[in-house]
Amino acid sequence: MTWAELLDEIEHRPGMYTGRPTYERTVFLVQGFDLAEGRNRIAVLQERVRRQYDSGPIAWPWVLLRQVIGGESSADLGPLTPEQDAAAIAFLVGNLRGLDSVEE
């Protein structure tokens, strides 16, 4: 499976490989896929998010999630609603598109 195919699967069938379509599980899936491929796309995404949102050392999944659901950055999110998960997954996929050109 290619990176683009993975993103298509996540976009159209988000729970296919994770059991439940949650943002957290989807983040773990793409991190694992990237690690297995050895392409280092996630490091590129982390740097892009850091520059774009001036997020400093905050982990990219948290920063992207905050862009979708808003709220104070220090507030505990608690469980996401299915609608929040779906919106966060869609935003994540949008940010991951284009990273397929990252070289090893």
User: Does residue 74 register a pLDDT over 70?
Assistant: no
Closest CA to 59 of 50, 68, 51: 50
Predicted pLDDT of residue 37: 93
Could you tell me the residue ranges of all domains in the chain?
3-101
Q: What is the mean pLDDT of the segment spanning 73-82? A: 75
The rounded distance, in Å, linking the Cα atoms of 94 and 26 is 13
pLDDT of residue 70: 85
**pLDDT tens digits, 44-54:** 999 999 999 88
Q: Give percent of the chain above pLDDT 70.
A: 89
- What was the pLDDT predicted at 56? 77
Which one is predicted more confidently, 102 or 59? 59
Alpha-carbon distances of 72 from 62, 67, 69, rounded to whole Å: 12, 11, 10
pTM: 0.87
Helix axes 41-53, 60-69, angle to 10 degrees: 50
